[in-house]
Amino acid sequence: MQIRKEELTAALIDYLLTHGLSELSLRPLAAELGTSARLLIYHFDSKEGLLAAAMDAMHTHLRHSLQALAEAEAPKGIKPLRRFWDWAIAAENLPYMKLLYELQMLAVRNPETYGPFLQNSAAGWLALVKRIMPDDERDAAMTSLPIAVFDGLFLELMSTGDRRRTTRALDRFIELVEQARLHRAQAVRKPRKAATRKRGA
């Protein structure tokens, strides 16, 4: 019955992964962990310390898992963005990603409460995104776009649970980027310019 801090943290994350952050309360949490609120405070000093430990563990999990993805050999024919998506919606990462997005949203409205738990995970994402977009598109707006597509689709996935639809939409975006790149390549090779502009709606 002697649970130490690390074991507590692991169980704590499991709890947060299914119950979310916003309505966390010490006593119900302690009840499900088989301990008491007293113990949680003893080990984590305060509720905030408890949240800090949990959020840190979450970030650590995601960082390690993402690093493993980056180091693994990339299969041919799968675009980085799609590979990132598959990683995110994999069973072992999806709950963590949901928690991360929940944190991000809560931090928008309650920065003083949740802001301290934000780590710059976007920096990690960016390293991957850098390889997604064509080089000549690497301005700020064009790195924003794939991340926004990812975020938006992940949002829809969280709301509807529709993996097929969201994944297909992501593939459509990738095709779109491909086609546009191809089109630009052709336009450079044979610059006919204004003659091809016709539909504007």
Interacting residues with its own copies (CB under 8 A): 19-20, 22-23, 77-78, 82, 98, 101-102, 104-110, 140-142, 144-145, 147-153, 155-156, 158-159, 165-166, 168-169, 171-173, 175-177, 179-186, 196, 199-201
**Closest Cα partner for 26 from 10, 42, 5?**
42
Cβ nearer to its own copies, comparing 87 with 150: 150
Contact flag: residue 47 with DNA (CB under 7 A): yes
**Closest Cα partner for 100 from 127, 66, 140, 67?**
66
CB of 12 to DNA, least distance (A): 13
Other beta carbons within 10 Å of 163 = 11
Contact flag: residue 33 with DNA (CB under 7 A): no
Contact flag: residue 67 with DNA (CB under 7 A): no
**Which CB contacts under 8 angstroms, 24+ apart, belong to 133-139?**
133/177, 134/177, 134/181
Interacting partner of 147 out of DNA, its own copies, none (Cβ under 5 to 8 A depending on kind): its own copies
CB of 11 to DNA, least distance (A): 12
Cβ nearer to DNA, comparing 51 with 81: 51
Beta strand spans in 139-198 (E): none
What is the distance between the alpha carbons of residues 126 and 118, in angstroms, rounded to a whole number? Answer: 16
